[in-house]
Structure 1
């Protein structure tokens, strides 16, 4: 049987740095994909995962490439299911072509108009992207990213005041970033960072992440006392956690497709 992979020489197990390459792989339904293979000196076991940038195979230092190949083949059906296309998958922006973009758990129609500067506006139940004549997809992506950040900050601005009186101090500042795995974090200096993809999903899930990170101003760990603080402010937090388990990867992937 011919190999389904482009194999490279084994990595030196003594190295302390991640090593990455690309693996060509055929799914159960015949689709051909690339899998990111990472040899991680900190990994203790083989691991296959799917993120917003696609599938990733992680190998510990002394696991052979052949063992990684067998592991991937054993999980081919699972990977095929994870990567199965859905009708509501977000498509890349193509200036001038109508489409739809996610916002707050809904899909809004996308319209294009000419304009003096690249910007996105919310009009009724649609997002309008205005572009100068020579602007292309990169300008549209930047405008949509700015639009998403403005919408996210508007949501935060509505929710945050209700929680400030019960906190030992307010966040030093709030940043919105495209995060690869986390949904939010709180730095020791009080800077709160939130994933921009949150504004694509349902508002209650975004609200939960904000509450979760604010509660770290009270307890810096994930102790029982911390979760009591979360429960008091967001009683349905378990439902939101389940939502992220079911839809989180697609939210992050959608943001990556739309704004990079």
Structure 2
């Protein structure tokens, strides 16, 4: 059986990497395509045979990923474009020719002043400024909420960072350092609170045991609805 037995939809978006530390083959299907992580001792031919056996599953997963991509909002980064922020919708108002780049919120309006020295297309510059603004807002908001929740359960937070990640919305290290995907600020507030409650609860339980979920429920009683929302709608949170 050869690679040609696989459909083009899989072959064109297939990445295979090896690691001497891996014990088994892992297959992940995401927006970037099909990624296979294999032990160094496993041949490419063996991988292809495995993928052929999962042909229908791969096609279904790729179709789902394409559907999710199609469901993402189509932004133009100009006047009137709208972005969610802590449960509200902010409308952009663009001003060009300013002395320096600046983002200012006035109620439900987000004023973006573009420097006259910029060389990139206006839409690209607006998007970059938006990302920077959201990152700053996320660090402040998520940091404060993390500290408040941690105090409620008698725990200490090491540090709080925000980062744009591909697969995880949050992470808690064994040292108590918390990291969040700043795009979560595009979600409704209850969903944001669930995510923070989830990561802060890992300060007590570094697992997803029954005790862990009880801890999450203590901080966020309605977490099940928010957890379900994030799984079903998280792919729409883009800038």
- Equivalent of 2:43, from 50, 59, 62? 62
Moved more, 137-146 or 210-219: 137-146
Whole-Å Cα distance in 1 between the matches of residues 83 and 225 of structure 2?
24
Report the CA distance between 1:168 and its aligned residue. 3.1
User: In the alignment, which residue of structure 2 is the partner of 1:100?
Assistant: 82
Q: Does 1:194 align with 2:175?
A: no
Give the direction of change, closer, same or farther, for the CA distance of 1:233–1:119 in structure 2 (3 Å limit): same
| 1:4-39: CA deviation from partner (whole Å, max 9, x where unpaired) | 99xxxxxxxxxxxxxxxxxx9449xxxxx9524123
Report the CA distance between 1:165 and its aligned residue. 3.6
Q: Does 1:123 align with 2:109?
A: no
- TM-score for both structures, normalised by structure 2: 0.74
Whole-Å Cα distance in 1 between the matches of residues 146 and 17 of structure 2?
42
Whole-Å Cα distance in 2 between the matches of residues 99 and 231 of structure 1?
36
User: In the alignment, which residue of structure 2 is the partner of 1:152?
Assistant: 138
Give the direction of change, closer, same or farther, for the CA distance of 1:105–1:40 in structure 2 (3 Å limit): farther
Report the CA distance between 1:234 and its aligned residue. 1.0
- Could you say what the CA RMSD is over the residues aligned between the two structures, in angstroms? 3.4
- TM-score for both structures, normalised by structure 1: 0.69
Whole-Å Cα distance in 1 between the matches of residues 206 and 132 of structure 2?
31
Trace 1:10-25 onto structure 2 (pairs within 5 A).
25=8
User: In the alignment, which residue of structure 2 is the partner of 1:210?
Assistant: 196
Unaligned regions of 5+ residues in structure 2, if any? Answer: none
Report the CA distance between 1:132 and its aligned residue. 0.8
| 1:187-218: CA deviation from partner (whole Å, max 9, x where unpaired) | 23322111112112222111111111212222
3-state SS of 2:67 partner? coil
Whole-Å Cα distance in 2 between the matches of residues 202 and 173 of structure 1?
24
Whole-Å Cα distance in 2 between the matches of residues 98 and 72 of structure 1?
45
Report the CA distance between 1:142 and its aligned residue. 3.4
Give the direction of change, closer, same or farther, for the CA distance of 1:158–1:217 in structure 2 (3 Å limit): closer
